[in-house]
A and B are shown apart, each in its own frame.
Chain A
């Protein structure tokens, strides 16, 4: 049952990638900015809860609630101060500076603050559902892994339902297609920008809390998580949350399979080489806006 266990492991990691990819691509749709700090919010969620619960002795529900509120307030304040100055001012910035570098600076800032507050050791939020791994025949699934899968399905499904079936979701799609057009049609693009930014920050924090018992986080873990989210979002064409979800799961399963069947040591190398080859041979199909030329 090696295959079955690898598939389960791949699905769990894949669902982590998928959730962050969905967060990145939903916000990119609204704002045309890539959130490279999404993983850092997850790290703050995990380490914040751990710090409040283990070090400060706060009850677990209160620790979780406090952490999430702080994350939400911080995300809101960031949008109000930095993004408003960069995007809503008289000289609206465009291009790679906005797309990459503001959230990239944010990521550095959050990591630095986390280092001050939480130190440099590996920590994790306490397991929300402790106990032995679930076994069925020879298949094993950690309880935390099941929680991760459940969260991923709920978050992915909720976004999908929201975009597909609600007026708010349609408006959200419109913001990314054409911000000026959306504004003329009476859609407040700025409101959507901060709403989705705060929502994805909180979702990322929740996910960090649920997931951290599996891997354990340090103050630098955020960058790696953002990277996987960014990659999976890239293979979903950045603007398509549904495809980002599938791409995340695919990368997770591919990673597990290569690790199990090809090489554990050079697994990552093979994985990244395959991913690079995919971009180079099929850029249009993967939804990269610029196509092959020449």
Chain B
């Protein structure tokens, strides 16, 4: 009866539990099998797992592919080895020094390479191991092809067994801390930012995420984790081989991450353990490890792109479904499963009357009144100018070309604080480009954009979001794999100006979710808040986008064809909603449906070939010969 939607592993990060589990299990194995083979495999895997848990945050979860891990793992290992052999420093003291040094180096390097993203970031950072390989192999100081031996170990007192067990315990503790930090970040409000960044960078920027800064923080985090892993490696193996830094080691780390499950910290740790264990499992396997890794990676990815963690989660979800089927009465108390129950279950539980997937959007100006109160930040910004006659948005003589084709030519528009304003025009007239110029994702070639009299022409999209500009996209840009609530919460985050480090202590995701829940309630959409967004109808997806745009209580709302793909009846409902929104904020609406625009707008602009050809009220709009010849074909 009630079918659970499949849940992404990201939502199931049992963060603190998994770090504790690894700590206890690792410690028990190390104490029992300290010097035996099992113990040494666990300790070696723990060294790699420290690196891969950082990669899970940077590469798996946030999808910022950077090939810098083996270089910084080498930096950590060689750093500790050099401090130990040349300065006679103990490994335990050298480790934090090397980590701090790596953090500084990563910050400097990262501020250069993270200016680019996507494939450019991958290719630029691919040069790092290639450069480092040449340096390591030809530098006598580091031992060249021979490698660098250490005299010290992580734990130095006692018998050889005590040294092995002590070093192993410290490494496992390092790993537990690394997992704790990684999981705390992923489950926090910044984790939600990172998820959006990984799925769709443009939406992230439009929702206020400072993408360049987050990329830099992720890069530094990945590098510091790698350096810690390298230091633990040097401290437990007492030897740094030359091969620790090279593209092949980089690929080996990626294999561990993807076999384990790229978005799961525990998965990344399990992946490291599986690969290390396989290498010593039997002679045949260790000789033919490449074949085994190749086949294993292919099989795991074919079964589930989210790796072993994904397979386990699917299994757990399936089991839970079976249990729920057997015990239908237990549904209400299904705990973690309940927020993700499908619409039938959720609407039954709420007793709401939404049938056959039809939305139950009951918006009235009174329920929307709460949205009229501007958020504190926006109130501060607008306070001074609020009483003046300065228009809210002013576009002055905007011009833009795409490769010689003029898209916007001398467009001047001014909008007041309240009301609904339509923007029409044939395909290719420049409507969406104008919206992007106001939203900040496209810089104009000429002209100025002013918000409340302040020039924001060069302000990046995320800054404009803080200043009260919010938008929807022509094609739905929701974050797949997350619930409706989280999708709206993305726009309610208060974390944009905070550093990733602050989220190790305290997450404010619940605050954002509370605000999002309130925004959904104002729109009468609370019954769908637990659903995964790609299971919604197109109308509901558009409504969620609208809710997301309204939730931060914007001063200026940019809507790009909200009615496209909707039925006539759905358009009526949308029109009612838009009118209500127009009473509390300024809405700039791009739309092809002329009737809808004429119904709801108090003033309409028409663009053609990048020029403003009409500007007037709805009655003039209906009567205008220009409009009729351009848009109606009369």
Binding site for B on A (CB under 8 A): 82, 85-86, 93, 95-98, 100-102, 104-113, 115-116, 220, 223, 227, 231, 234, 238, 265-266, 268-269, 272-273, 275-276, 279-280, 283, 286, 288-290, 292-294
A102 touches B301 (CB 8 A): yes
B298 touches A106 (CB 8 A): yes
A280 touches B126 (CB 8 A): no
| Distance to closest chain B CB from A203 (angstroms) | 22
A109 vs B255: C-alpha distance when bound (angstroms): 13
A290 touches B201 (CB 8 A): yes
Cβ contact of A268, chosen from B134, B251, B288, B298, cutoff 8 A: B134
Cβ contact of B293, chosen from A82, A86, A105, A290, cutoff 8 A: A105
A238 touches B290 (CB 8 A): no
Cβ contact of A231, chosen from B123, B138, B201, cutoff 8 A: B123
B295 touches A234 (CB 8 A): no
B131 touches A234 (CB 8 A): no
B298 touches A293 (CB 8 A): no
| Distance to closest chain B CB from A221 (angstroms) | 12
B295 touches A93 (CB 8 A): no
A-B contact pairs, 13 of them (CB 8 A): A85-B302, A93-B301, A101-B297, A102-B301, A108-B297, A227-B247, A266-B138, A268-B134, A269-B131, A272-B127, A289-B118, A290-B118, A293-B211
- Of all chain A residues, the one with the shortest Cβ separation from B199 is A95
B134 touches A231 (CB 8 A): no
A64 vs B226: C-alpha distance when bound (angstroms): 45
A275 vs B117: C-alpha distance when bound (angstroms): 16
Cβ contact of B118, chosen from A109, A227, A288, A294, cutoff 8 A: A288
- Of all chain A residues, the one with the shortest Cβ separation from B294 is A109
| Distance to closest chain A CB from B424 (angstroms) | 27
A113 vs B262: C-alpha distance when bound (angstroms): 27
> Does B116 touch A at the CB level, under 8 Å?
yes
Note all chain B residues with C-beta closer than 8 A to A268.
130-131, 134
B258 touches A101 (CB 8 A): yes
Note all chain B residues with C-beta closer than 8 A to A234.
119, 123
A109 vs B135: C-alpha distance when bound (angstroms): 29
Note all chain A residues with C-beta closer than 8 A to B255.
104-105, 108
Known A93-B305, A275-B127; judge A115-B294 contact (CB<8 A): no
B119 touches A293 (CB 8 A): no
Note all chain A residues with C-beta closer than 8 A to B65.
96, 100
A294 touches B123 (CB 8 A): no
B248 touches A223 (CB 8 A): yes
A266 touches B124 (CB 8 A): no
Cβ contact of B301, chosen from A101, A111, A272, A286, cutoff 8 A: A101
> Does B580 touch A at the CB level, under 8 Å?
no
Known A97-B258, A288-B118, A294-B460; judge A82-B205 contact (CB<8 A): no
B301 touches A116 (CB 8 A): no
A288 touches B123 (CB 8 A): yes
Note all chain B residues with C-beta closer than 8 A to A113.
291
Q: Which of B242-281 contact A (CB under 8 A)?
A: 247-248, 251, 254-255, 258, 262
> Does B58 touch A at the CB level, under 8 Å?
no
Count of interface residues, chain B, beta-carbon cutoff 8 Å = 48
| Distance to closest chain B CB from A107 (angstroms) | 7
Cβ contact of B298, chosen from A82, A223, A276, cutoff 8 A: A82
A111 touches B123 (CB 8 A): no
| Distance to closest chain B CB from A278 (angstroms) | 9
- Contacts A104-B254, A280-B113 given; 7 further ones with Cβ under 8 A? A106-B294, A112-B289, A234-B119, A268-B130, A293-B201, A293-B211, A294-B212
Note all chain A residues with C-beta closer than 8 A to B247.
223, 227
A238 vs B301: C-alpha distance when bound (angstroms): 24
Q: Which of B81-132 contact A (CB under 8 A)?
A: 112-113, 115-120, 123-124, 126-128, 130-131
A290 vs B126: C-alpha distance when bound (angstroms): 17
Known A290-B117, A290-B120, A290-B201; judge A112-B134 contact (CB<8 A): no
| Distance to closest chain B CB from A4 (angstroms) | 27
B116 touches A288 (CB 8 A): yes
Note all chain B residues with C-beta closer than 8 A to A238.
119
| Distance to closest chain B CB from A104 (angstroms) | 7
A86 touches B120 (CB 8 A): no
- Of all chain A residues, the one with the shortest Cβ separation from B210 is A294
Binding site for A on B (CB under 8 A): 63, 65, 112-113, 115-120, 123-124, 126-128, 130-131, 134-135, 138, 201, 205, 210-213, 247-248, 251, 254-255, 258, 262, 287-295, 297-298, 301-302, 305, 460
Note all chain B residues with C-beta closer than 8 A to A96.
63, 65
Note all chain B residues with C-beta closer than 8 A to A220.
248
Cβ contact of B297, chosen from A104, A231, A292, cutoff 8 A: A104
| Distance to closest chain B CB from A62 (angstroms) | 27
- Of all chain B residues, the one with the shortest Cβ separation from A111 is B290
SS class of chain A's interface: helix, strand, loop or mixed?
helix
A264 vs B340: C-alpha distance when bound (angstroms): 61
Note all chain A residues with C-beta closer than 8 A to B288.
112, 115-116
Known A101-B258, A106-B298; judge A288-B115 contact (CB<8 A): no
| Distance to closest chain A CB from B420 (angstroms) | 31
Note all chain A residues with C-beta closer than 8 A to B460.
293-294
A273 vs B201: C-alpha distance when bound (angstroms): 27
A138 vs B119: C-alpha distance when bound (angstroms): 43
Note all chain A residues with C-beta closer than 8 A to B210.
294
| Distance to closest chain B CB from A242 (angstroms) | 19
Note all chain A residues with C-beta closer than 8 A to B291.
108-109, 112-113, 116
| Distance to closest chain A CB from B230 (angstroms) | 21
Cβ contact of B119, chosen from A86, A93, A288, cutoff 8 A: A288
A220 vs B126: C-alpha distance when bound (angstroms): 18
B124 touches A279 (CB 8 A): yes
Note all chain B residues with C-beta closer than 8 A to A265.
138
A293 touches B301 (CB 8 A): no
The 9 A-B pairs at the shortest CB distance, nearest first, are namely A109-B294, A112-B290, A112-B291, A290-B118, A294-B212, A108-B294, A105-B297, A276-B127, A288-B120
Q: Quick one: which of B119, B126, B205, B301 has the most chain A CB within 10 A?
A: B119
Note all chain B residues with C-beta closer than 8 A to A223.
247-248, 251
Note all chain A residues with C-beta closer than 8 A to B211.
293-294
B124 touches A276 (CB 8 A): yes
Note all chain B residues with C-beta closer than 8 A to A273.
127, 131
A105 touches B301 (CB 8 A): yes
A289 vs B119: C-alpha distance when bound (angstroms): 7
B305 touches A97 (CB 8 A): yes
| Distance to closest chain B CB from A93 (angstroms) | 5
A82 vs B301: C-alpha distance when bound (angstroms): 10
Note all chain A residues with C-beta closer than 8 A to B251.
104, 223
Note all chain B residues with C-beta closer than 8 A to A101.
254, 258, 297, 301
| Distance to closest chain B CB from A36 (angstroms) | 9
A268 vs B301: C-alpha distance when bound (angstroms): 35
Note all chain B residues with C-beta closer than 8 A to A112.
288-294
A82 vs B118: C-alpha distance when bound (angstroms): 26
Note all chain B residues with C-beta closer than 8 A to A102.
298, 301
A293 touches B124 (CB 8 A): no
Note all chain A residues with C-beta closer than 8 A to B248.
220, 223
A283 touches B120 (CB 8 A): yes
| Distance to closest chain A CB from B438 (angstroms) | 18
Note all chain A residues with C-beta closer than 8 A to B135.
269
Known A112-B290, A280-B112, A294-B211; judge A272-B123 contact (CB<8 A): no
A113 vs B293: C-alpha distance when bound (angstroms): 12
Note all chain A residues with C-beta closer than 8 A to B297.
101, 104-105, 108
Q: Quick one: which of A97, A110, A116, A266 has the most chain B CB within 10 A?
A: A97
Note all chain A residues with C-beta closer than 8 A to B126.
227, 231
Note all chain B residues with C-beta closer than 8 A to A86.
301-302
| Distance to closest chain B CB from A56 (angstroms) | 22
- Of all chain B residues, the one with the shortest Cβ separation from A219 is B290
| Distance to closest chain B CB from A111 (angstroms) | 5
- Of all chain B residues, the one with the shortest Cβ separation from A293 is B211
A81 vs B291: C-alpha distance when bound (angstroms): 17
Note all chain B residues with C-beta closer than 8 A to A272.
127, 130-131
Q: Quick one: which of A110, A231, A286, A294 has the most chain B CB within 10 A?
A: A294
